[in-house]
Amino acid sequence: MAYDLNGKAVLITGASRGIGAKAAAVCKAAGANVLLHASAESEASAAVAKSAGQAAGDFLYQDLTAPGAGFELASRAIERAGRLDAVVNNAGVYLPSPLTGDKSGWEDGWAKTIAVNVTAPADICRAAIAHFREKGGGTIVNIASRAGHRGDGLEKAAYAASKGAVLGMTKTWARGLAGENILLYAIAPGWVETRMAPEDIEARKHAVHEIPLGRVAQPEEVAAAILFCLSGACPSMTGTTIDINGASYVR
């Protein structure tokens, strides 16, 4: 089944690589006006922009660790396109929050993780919801994680907590805004073949061993789920969390 996003303006954060880049490609192929975000210009962002028929300078570059960055990004996206129909909050960081060693590592890990993974997407959602209310509706897809359900490694509590927060806010706003035609979905991947996936050989063996499917997910698989959520094919799914983890965590 082909999904049609023709004429829809879609903001995708963290679009320079991995899941965000694949989501940008499938949304562009479905006819969307894709608004691409990255933290800074790079060779990767230039390549993604070219594949989307844009220039590297068309990217909306925004450091999401900065206070108010989410509001600023949403405002720039609306100004750029003249409207906003959907948001994919994909940008995220996977930083350690170590229980031992210098306390500065703990504080830095928590501060940056919450800023990028929770505060920025929450602010983007708030700005998008205000805009959607003016235009009669819209869709938000928040990329969470398996870790938000089951927890993560001992040194990654900040990451797990941040993704649990993403799940909580998605459910809350889905419940409260469905009657206004504002739909929210969460996607919770396990390991995906991106820069966040384990590169250490032994860690990689362990990661794959715990996945009954026998492999980590591909970014294209997550992008396909994003496109489905944005398509409007099943509005009754609002509030749903879609797990993509090869049956490594079955709820």
Whether 159 is a known active-site residue: answer yes
CA geometry: angle at 217 spanning 113 and 6, to 5°?
85
For 35-51, give one letter per residue: b (16+ CB within 10 A) or e. Answer: bbbbbeeeeebbebbee
3-state secondary structure of 138: strand
Structure tokens, 219? 């970014």
Q: What is the dihedral of CA 129, 131, 136, 142, to 10 degrees?
A: -40
Catalytic residue among 94, 159, 185, 249: 159
Q: Are 146 and 94 in contact (CB under 8 A)?
A: no
Rounded Cα gap, residues 152 and 81, in angstroms: 38
Q: How far apart are CA 208 and CA 19, in angstroms?
A: 19
- The C-alpha atoms of residue 36 and residue 60 are separated, in whole angstroms, by 6
Catalytic residues: 159
